[in-house]
């Protein structure tokens, strides 16, 4: 089931996220995020924007949210989307289900544009975004450095209005 986040979900979500921090370059965080920091992030985002989880048999297998793209007021109608799926749950279309619901919720807000900011290459994430109509609008070369490798970032845009 897909449902809104509960504050008590924080540890399960953090476990999903920190796996990606430690083992992949899809996030540019270099050290695992502490629980208190993650709880503050959840509170900050969920009070203003959609933050949803995919739960199966009382286990959270993924989550998605949208948040501010940038702080300046002219960006108030542009949000950045994020989706993470538990590494052991890939291939179940959980990311697609979460994104479908997130986008549906965003269409009910004053959001005009949703951006996906992805480490490249990342075929699975690119395919997910393209499936929902996101288009590559920017390719930043070698802007991140993790695991002794320079990493590119793609900016994918979906216009809702």
Q: Under CATH, which architecture does the 2-159 domain have?
A: 3-Layer(aba) Sandwich (3.40)
Which value, in Å, is the radius of gyration of the alpha carbons in the chain? 15
Residue 66 confidence class, pLDDT cut points 50, 70, 90: very high
Long-range contacts of 144-149 (CB under 8 A, 24+ apart): 144/25, 144/28, 144/119, 146/25, 146/28, 146/30, 147/25, 149/25
Can you tell me the distance from the alpha carbon of 67 to that of 81, in angstroms, rounded to the nearest whole number?
7
Mean of the pLDDT values across residues 135-160? Answer: 98
- Determine the pLDDT at residue 136: 98
Residues 33 and 80: beta-carbon distance below 8 Å: no
- Determine the pLDDT at residue 161: 78
Structure confidence by residue, pLDDT tens digits, 32-53: 999 999 999 999 999 999 999 9
Can you tell me the distance from the alpha carbon of 77 to that of 115, in angstroms, rounded to the nearest whole number?
11
Structure confidence by residue, pLDDT tens digits, 100-112: 999 999 999 999 9
- Give the chain's mean pLDDT: 96
Residue 27 confidence class, pLDDT cut points 50, 70, 90: very high
């Amino acid at each position: 089931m897909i449902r809104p986040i509960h504050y008590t979900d924080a540890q399960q979500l953090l476990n999903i996220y920190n796996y990606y921090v430690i083992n992949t370059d899809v996030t540019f965080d270099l050290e695992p995020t502490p629980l208190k920091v993650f709880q503050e992030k959840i509170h900050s985002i969920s009070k203003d924007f959609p933050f949803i989880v995919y739960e199966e048999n009382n286990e959270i297998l993924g989550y998605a949210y949208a948040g501010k793209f940038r702080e300046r007021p002219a960006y108030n109608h542009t949000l950045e989307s994020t989706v993470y799926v538990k590494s052991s749950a890939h291939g179940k279309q959980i990311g697609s289900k979460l994104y479908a619901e997130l986008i549906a919720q965003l269409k009910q807000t004053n959001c005009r544009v949703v951006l996906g900011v992805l480490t490249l290459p990342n075929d699975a994430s690119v395919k997910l975004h393209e499936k929902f109509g996101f288009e590559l609008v920017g390719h930043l070369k070698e802007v991140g450095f993790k695991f002794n490798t320079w990493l590119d970032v793609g900016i994918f845009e979906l216009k809702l209005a």
